[in-house]
Structure 1
Amino acid sequence: MNALLNSLTEAELAVVRETDRERLAELDEDALVELHTRVRRTRNKYVKLYRRQASTRVAEVGARGKARPKNRRSAQKAEVFEDALARVSRALATAARRSAAELRAERIAAAREQRGTAPRPAARPRSETVAPQRTDLSPMSPALRKRQASTLAKGARRQARRDTR
């Protein structure tokens, strides 16, 4: 692993170094999102490179299994960045949960401040609750006719689908 890390370019090594636990702990959620994007792009670059090189070598050696060992370095780089991406993803998930909890606490506190001091009205038992009456039940109501036509059309479409199968 150290040999592979030593063979990375300075820019690639800098990206991997940024994914250390200590450095991730210092970053806020926005910085973690930006780092996640950079690491994902780098990982995708080496995955694509590995696949592209392996597919061109298949024609030369005759099989995918034989082409794989000759393309080991790109695969190992992709694996290094996959591990780095996993570290950043975990840190980002933790930061997102933390900020969501903070926002929720702020919303609850704001709602409590805005709430009046008057007590809430007591809820009536379900047996006393009266359901709202519909006002569009007259036979000539446009809303009722539209609803009935929609129901009939839906049934006709279902039947047509069954008939065509």
Structure 2
Amino acid sequence: METLVDDYLWLLKKDELDLVRELEPERIEALDEDDLIELHRRVRRARNKHVKNYRRKAARAVEEAGSRGQARPKGDKARWRAEAFEEALAIVSERLAVVAHAQAEALKEERLARAKSGRSSGPESGGPSGPDGVGPGRARTHEKSTGGLKRDASSRAQGARRQAKKDGR
């Protein structure tokens, strides 16, 4: 089975080959989510660079040749480079999605296990009280109010302003 490196070995420069070699299955499997995000960023930057270069070169070639059909063969190498990094980006994106999903599932399981054991992740964790061991959480402090407190305070302030106006005459 050929790898991405084998396909584009003749086309890429040394530093680009080093980047693509990081996508070999045994190397990419060893990366965690943060490392994959960093690799994804680097591959995306390389892809954007080569796509931009290809498009600029193709636009100049179309101007010179007079049509896209006649200009197309001139941009083969740049187009293949852009395709190589497009494929590399797809590989990294797919692996990142798998790892991120697995990590999200692990965090979910951990959170559910902590909730079932009655321990909260917050600083105010109460003991288990329910039949399934889940505690009540933090008790709410609630004062009965019809919303009148704010309205009454506003009314008092308005009266004080009126009185101050009268006193100032």
* Structure 2: gaps (5+ residues): 120-126, 133-145, 152-169
**1:1-22 residue CA offsets vs partner (Å, 9 max, x unmatched):** 8574223111100111111111
CA offsets 1:6-59 (integer angstroms, 9 cap, x no match) = 231111001111111111100000000000111111011110000000111111
Equivalent runs, 1:1-165 vs 2, <5 Å: 2=6, 4-113=8-117, 114=119, 116-119=128-131
Measured against aligned partners, the alpha-carbon deviations of 1:41-82 in whole angstroms (never above 9, x if no partner) come to 101111000000011111110112221210110100111111
What letter corresponds to residue 117 of structure 1 in structure 2? S
Q: Per-residue displacement from partner, 1:86-144 (whole Å, max 9, x unpaired)?
A: 11111100000010011111111121222623338xxxxxxxxxxxxxx57xxxxx8xx
SS of equivalent to 1:68: helix
Change (3 A) 1:65 1:97: same
- Find the aligned partners of 2:11 and 2:87 in 1 and give their Cα distance: 17
Distance 2:78 2:13 in 1: 13
Partners of 1:7 and 1:72 in 2: how far apart?
11
Tell me the C-alpha RMSD between the 2 structures. Answer: 2.4
Mapped partners of 1:16, 1:73: distance in 2: 17
Identity of aligned residues (%): 48
Runs of 4+ that moved beyond 4 A: none
Structure 2 equivalent of residue 123 of structure 1: none
Count of residue pairs brought into register by the alignment: 127
Q: Distance in 2 between matches of 1:5 and 1:111?
A: 52
